[in-house]
């Protein structure tokens, strides 16, 4: 009983727990690093660097948001790009109707969130491979549907009216604006992802990931938790979709709902380490760096898909917890930093 | 009554796992659930905590009809259980496992409160120094304690223990029995399924025996131990019957005395 | 009306080949609980296998036997290299392992063959029955699919390895207790799945143009069919294939062809939700 009292004294108080949550050095290091590196092209005005970074940040936002449903909750979604595409379409239609960008962004997020809510209520009942298959089905069904949907321009898609850019200081300025917005979104998604992970809600999600039935027995209201995780993970790609297609200037079904894109995002999360905030960030950036290298290095240029595949296979077979997961396991002392 | 089962039946396909079981449980009691493998004990637990609904009959818990309610709804009402085959959340730490119980169970605490409760509960079951370890790295006996700690952290009204002693060595069994006694001393009502005869005979106030999904006998440990039906049907061999009776004869009043002292 | 009848017959013939492709996918799922995302790559390999042999002077139907044999061996090899280590890991691992194999095959394939469309310049003519005209390649492909299904049935129900496969499929742990080496059986099942995919690919190549990336389309169709017939039920897949073929034949009669995939995938999701064991299977 004596040992028990000592243990009690050592136990953290409620306040300490909350404080520890927002003073985690590993987390702030991640946020500051992403923000500083991300600001670099804006400071130097280097347009080609901006383009490289744009691709990496896009992946970062998608991978970090996918991580909420895939890494925290354990549901493998092949349909993450659906929300990206839907957000893009809604944003384009809104922009062309004269809605300002700051209005189109939340609209894209909202549309994605609403779709995820409705979809989640239906398909999140499915487990394991069945859920994964259903998300493939949803992706393909939606793409085929948009192909036939005149308000979204059918197979040809929608182009942004050039006048839209004028309100933002012309096309060149709009590119910088899009980059700034994406960077902001990335910082926001890292914050969101960390907030979810360290919250009570996040604890419930991780309980579901480890053993859904046991979580239910312990009182986790699994249908609600899963649905809200899905909605949260969908809102980000919805907003990012608006940014991307605003910059791109046009949208068509094949770009908006590319299954391959979803799968690449899963690979990024796996590479970095599913279920860790830092892992999704590193995985996204690392994957895009590697791809960029393979695409520009002549001897392997044609084989880049095969090399990426070989790499993925090696990760799955030998370091299934991803890079961050591997380090966390090997060096427990670093766990505090690798959130 | 804390819990009432009225004519509960459950079948899987053509198999009648439970037939017409009626049972009541007053607050503060430890009820032992006995029966050979396949008698329907775990099925009964699964029905009580809503893993699946009964095919027929009603379940009342804390004066509410809870038939067909989901496990999480029952957890919120104050029901907690352990599993026969332990189900640790492997990639979470021991502390986080217990916090899940505190956060989402009966009292639904905040994370901060849950951390405090987890520390208390882990100290109580003797896992305090393992708090930061991943649950998957524990051995079987430790996992059983974790399973119990998780259920306790919810501060339940009714606790269902499914073979918490199975697979433990004698010393571990002694420690676990002591823990169960202490839990009851805190006013928690318990139903326990157990095959370790001397333990259940000593701890239970009342025992119910199931066979082929039916209620075979019900009574005090001493009554059950001397019930010819039970000896014949459940215990089978004469050796085990003798073993059972000797256990009761050594400590016949122990369990009862314990109840009265704490009641 | 004649048009309707013709597209019906055509749909059924092609559907039976789809069914054959799906059979491989669903066999692998049933025995191994693996969602094989390299299925489309196997189909594409079958197409290019028959194509290469045909250009090397082989009759496509003779080439098909070679392709089937290679498919079996390649499948078994891939099992040991890419799947064996993670066969008991969470499903995400096997899902991604097969996807990695898919990327490797398609990456190498794209380098070797580019993505330009190919056709096998081979015709057996056609025959007419009343208003219906049927290309003989399609008829032969449907007959071959039926025959292969029959052989698969005999294999699974009448031979020792086949019975082992069914045993592992229904309960791997119990099968191992009975002394069945599940590793070999899993490898064999994956090989059979690859064989069926490659054969179906080879048959499709005799009447449709294709690229190295065509497999993806048929993989998605295989998912739809597999779910219709009940994942894990190879013979349900043939029925599912016929249903899909019929839909593809009939939908264009009432609405634009571009709606076909919308209906297909919608149906796919709905069946997953309502009858995850397939429209023929038992209710969950």
CB atoms within 10 A of CB B222: 17
Residues B110 and B184 in one domain: no
What's the total number of domains in chain C? 1
- Cβ <8 Å between C259 and A126: no
Residues B135 and B161 in one domain: no
CB atoms within 10 A of CB A238: 30
Which site among A213, A219, A328 would you substitute to test the B interface, given the most B Cβ atoms closer than 10 Å to its Cβ?
Answer: A219
Residue C134 DSSP SS3: strand
Which site among B69, B71, B113 would you substitute to test the A interface, given the most A Cβ atoms closer than 10 Å to its Cβ?
Answer: B71
How many angstroms separate the CA of residue A204 from the nearest CA in chain B? 7
What's the total number of domains in chain B? 2
**Is residue B99 assigned to a domain?**
yes
**Is residue C33 assigned to a domain?**
yes
C103 → chain A, closest CA residue = A309
Q: Name the β-bridge partners of B158.
A: B79, B189
Nearest by CB to residue B75, choosing from A12, A213, A217, is A217
Residues B164 and B139 in one domain: no
- Cβ <8 Å between B105 and A218: yes
How many angstroms separate the CA of residue C257 from the nearest CA in chain A? 10
Domain containing residue C79: CATH number: 1.10.3470
**Is residue C280 assigned to a domain?**
no
Q: Does C33 touch chain A (CB under 8 A)?
A: yes
Q: Does A105 touch chain C (CB under 8 A)?
A: no
Interface predicted TM-score (ipTM) of this complex, two decimals: 0.88
Alpha-carbon gap, residue C69 to A285, rounded angstroms: 42
For C122-167, the pLDDT digits (tens) are 888 888 887 788 888 999 999 999 999 999 999 999 999 999 999 9
Contact residues on chain B for A209, CB-CB shorter than 8 A? 91
Q: Is the Cα dihedral B214, B220, B221, B226 positive or negative?
A: negative
Residues B218 and B88 in one domain: no
Nearest to B173 by CA among B151, B204, B141: B141
**Is residue B73 assigned to a domain?**
no
Alpha-carbon gap, residue A53 to B17, rounded angstroms: 62
Q: Does A319 touch chain C (CB under 8 A)?
A: no
The residue range of the domain holding C21 is: 2-274
- Cβ <8 Å between A132 and C91: yes
Domain containing residue B179: CATH number: 3.40.50.300
Q: Which chains touch B (3 or more CB pairs under 8 A)?
A: A
Residues B43 and B121 in one domain: no
Residues B148 and B198 in one domain: no
- Among B156, B174, B203, the domain boundary falls at B156
Tokens at B204, concatenated: 């239970």
Residues in chain A: 339
pLDDT grade, residue A186 (50/70/90)?
Answer: very high
**Is residue B68 assigned to a domain?**
no
Tokens at C136, concatenated: 């003989």
- Cβ <8 Å between C95 and A132: yes
- Among B104, B129, B156, the domain boundary falls at B156
CB atoms within 10 A of CB C81: 13
DSSP single-letter state for residue C19: H
For C66-110, the pLDDT digits (tens) are 999 999 999 999 999 999 999 988 888 898 899 899 999 999 999
**Is residue B74 assigned to a domain?**
no
Q: Does B48 touch chain A (CB under 8 A)?
A: no
- Cβ <8 Å between B100 and A16: no
Residues B164 and B52 in one domain: yes
Alpha-carbon gap, residue A321 to A288, rounded angstroms: 19
- Cβ <8 Å between C104 and A309: yes
Residues B165 and B257 in one domain: yes
- The 3-state secondary structure of chain B reads CCEEEEEEEEEECCEEEEEEEEEEECCCCEEEEECCCCCCHHHHHHHHCCCCCCCEEEEEECCEECCCCCHHHHHHHCEEECCCCCCCCCCCEHHHHHHHHHHHCCCCCCHHHHHHHHHHHHHHHCCHHHCCCEHHHCCHHHHHHHHHHHHHHCCCCEEEEECCCCCCCHHHHHHHHHHHHHHHHCCCEEEEECCCHHHHHHHCCEEEEEECCEEEEEECHHHHHHCHHHHHHHHCCHHHHHHHHHHHHHCCCHHHHHHHHHC
CB atoms within 10 A of CB A121: 14
For B116-141, the pLDDT digits (tens) are 999 999 999 999 999 989 999 999 88
Q: What is the pTM of this model?
A: 0.90
- pLDDT above 70 covers what percent of chain B? 88
Mean pLDDT over the full length of chain B: 86
Beta carbon pairs, A and B, within 8 Å: 115
Q: Which fold has domain A24-336?
A: ABC transporter involved in vitamin B12 uptake, BtuC (1.10.3470)
- Cβ <8 Å between B104 and A219: yes
The residue range of the domain holding B227 is: 1-15+26-62+157-263
**Is residue B20 assigned to a domain?**
no
The answer on pLDDT for A7 being more than 50 is: no
For A52-95, the pLDDT digits (tens) are 999 999 999 999 999 999 999 999 999 999 999 999 999 999 99
Nearest by CB to residue B120, choosing from A8, A12, A16, is A8
- Among B156, B183, B216, the domain boundary falls at B156
Q: Does A76 touch chain C (CB under 8 A)?
A: yes
- Cβ <8 Å between C103 and A308: yes
Q: Does A191 touch chain C (CB under 8 A)?
A: no
- Cβ <8 Å between B87 and A213: yes
H-assigned helices in chain C: 2-32, 39-55, 60-78, 91-113, 136-158, 160-170, 172-177, 182-205, 215-229, 234-254, 260-274
The answer on pLDDT for B250 being more than 50 is: no
Nearest by CB to residue A312, choosing from C103, C220, C259, is C103
- Cβ <8 Å between A141 and C268: yes
Q: Do chains B and C touch (3 or more CB pairs under 8 A)?
A: no
């Amino acid at each position: 009983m004596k040992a028990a009292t000592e243990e009690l004294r050592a136990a953290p108080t409620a306040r300490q727990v909350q404080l520890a949550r927002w003073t985690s050095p590993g987390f702030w290091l991640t946020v500051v690093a992403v923000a500083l590196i991300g600001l670099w092209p804006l400071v130097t005005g280097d347009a080609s660097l901006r383009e490289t970074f744009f691709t990496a940040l896009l992946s970062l936002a998608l991978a970090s948001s996918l991580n909420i449903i895939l890494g925290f909750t354990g549901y493998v979604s092949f349909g993450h790009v659906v929300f990206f595409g839907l957000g893009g379409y809604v944003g384009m239609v809104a922009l062309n109707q004269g809605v300002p960008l700051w209005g189109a962004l939340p609209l894209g997020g909202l549309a994605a969130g609403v779709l995820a809510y409705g979809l989640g209520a239906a398909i999140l009942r499915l487990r394991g491979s069945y859920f994964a298959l259903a998300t493939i089905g949803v992706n393909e069904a939606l793409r085929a549907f948009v192909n036939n949907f005149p308000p979204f321009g059918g197979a040809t898609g929608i182009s942004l009216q050039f006048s839209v850019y004028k309100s933002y200081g012309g096309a060149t300025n709009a590119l910088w604006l899009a980059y700034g917005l994406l960077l902001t979104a990335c910082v926001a998604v890292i914050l969101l992802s960390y907030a979810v992970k360290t919250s009570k809600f996040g604890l419930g999600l991780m309980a579901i990931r480890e053993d859904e039935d046991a979580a239910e027995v312990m009182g986790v209201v699994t249908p609600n938790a899963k649905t809200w995780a899905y909605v949260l993970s969908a809102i980000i790609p919805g907003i990012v979709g608006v940014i991307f297609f605003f910059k791109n200037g046009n949208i068509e079904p094949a770009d908006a709902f590319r299954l391959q894109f979803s799968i690449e995002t899963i690979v990024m999360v796996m590479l970095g380490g599913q279920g860790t905030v830092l892992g999704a960030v590193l995985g996204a950036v690392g994957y895009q760096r590697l791809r960029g290298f393979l695409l520009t290095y002549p001897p392997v240029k044609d084989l880049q898909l095969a090399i990426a595949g070989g790499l993925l296979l090696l990760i799955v077979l030998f370091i299934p917890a991803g890079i961050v997961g591997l380090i966390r396991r090997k060096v427990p002392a670093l766990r505090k930093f690798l959130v | 009554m804390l819990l009432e089962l009225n004519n509960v039946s459950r079948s899987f396909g053509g198999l009648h796992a439970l037939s017409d079981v009626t049972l009541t449980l007053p607050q503060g009691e430890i009820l032992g659930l006995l029966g050979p493998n396949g008698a329907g004990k775990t099925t009964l637990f699964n029905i009580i905590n809503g893993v699946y609904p009964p095919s027929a009959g009603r379940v009342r818990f804390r004066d509410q009809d809870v038939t067909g309610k989901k496990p999480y709804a029952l957890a919120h009402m104050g029901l907690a259980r352990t599993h026969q085959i332990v189900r640790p959340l492997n990639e979470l730490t021991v502390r986080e496992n217990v916090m899940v119980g505190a956060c989402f169970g009966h009292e639904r605490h905040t994370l901060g409160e849950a951390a405090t409760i987890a520390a208390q509960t882990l100290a109580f079951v003797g896992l305090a120094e393992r708090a930061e370890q991943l649950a998957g790295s524990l051995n079987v006996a430790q996992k059983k304690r974790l399973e119990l700690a998780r259920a306790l952290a919810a501060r339940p009204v009714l606790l269902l223990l499914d073979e918490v002693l199975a697979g433990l060595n004698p010393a571990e069994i002694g420690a676990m029995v002591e823990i169960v006694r202490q839990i009851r001393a805190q006013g928690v009502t318990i139903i326990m399924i157990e095959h370790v005869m001397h333990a259940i005979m000593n701890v239970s106030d009342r025992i119910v025996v199931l066979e082929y999904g039916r209620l075979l006998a019900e009574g005090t440990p001493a009554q059950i131990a001397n019930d010819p039906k039970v000896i014949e049907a459940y215990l089978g061999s004469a050796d085990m019957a003798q073993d059972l009776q000797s256990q009761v004869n050594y400590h016949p009043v122990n369990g009862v005395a314990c109840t009265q002292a704490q009641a | 009306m004649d048009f309707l009848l013709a597209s019906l017959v055509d749909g059924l013939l092609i559907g039976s080949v789809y069914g054959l492709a799906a059979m491989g996918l669903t066999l692998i799922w049933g025995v191994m609980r693996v969602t094989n995302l390299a299925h489309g790559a196997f189909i594409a390999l079958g197409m290019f296998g028959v194509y290469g042999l045909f250009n090397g002077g082989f009759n496509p139907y003779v080439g098909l036997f070679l392709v089937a044999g290679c498919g079996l061996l390649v499948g078994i090899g891939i099992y040991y290299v890419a799947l064996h280590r993670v066969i008991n890991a969470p499903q995400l691992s096997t899902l991604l392992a097969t996807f990695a194999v898919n990327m490797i095959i398609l990456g190498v394939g794209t380098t070797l063959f580019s993505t330009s469309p190919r056709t096998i310049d081979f015709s057996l003519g056609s025959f007419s029955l009343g208003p219906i005209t049927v290309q003989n390649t399609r008829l032969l492909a449907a007959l071959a699919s039926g025959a292969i299904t029959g052989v698969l049935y005999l294999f699974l129900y009448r031979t020792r390895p086949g019975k082992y496969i069914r045993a592992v499929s229904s309960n791997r742990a119990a099968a191992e207790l009975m002394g069945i080496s599940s590793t070999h059986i899993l490898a064999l099942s994956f090989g059979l799945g690859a064989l069926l995919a490659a054969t179906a690919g080879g048959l499709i190549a005799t009447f449709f143009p294709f690229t190295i990336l065509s497999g993806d389309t048929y993989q998605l169709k295989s998912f739809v069919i597999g779910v219709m017939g009940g994942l894990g039920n190879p013979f349900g897949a043939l029925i599912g294939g016929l249903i899909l073929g019929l839909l593809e034949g009939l939908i264009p009669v009432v609405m634009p062809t571009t709606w076909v995939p919308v209906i297909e995938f919608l149906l796919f999701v709905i069946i997953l939700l309502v009858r995850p064991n397939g429209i023929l299977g038992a209710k969950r």
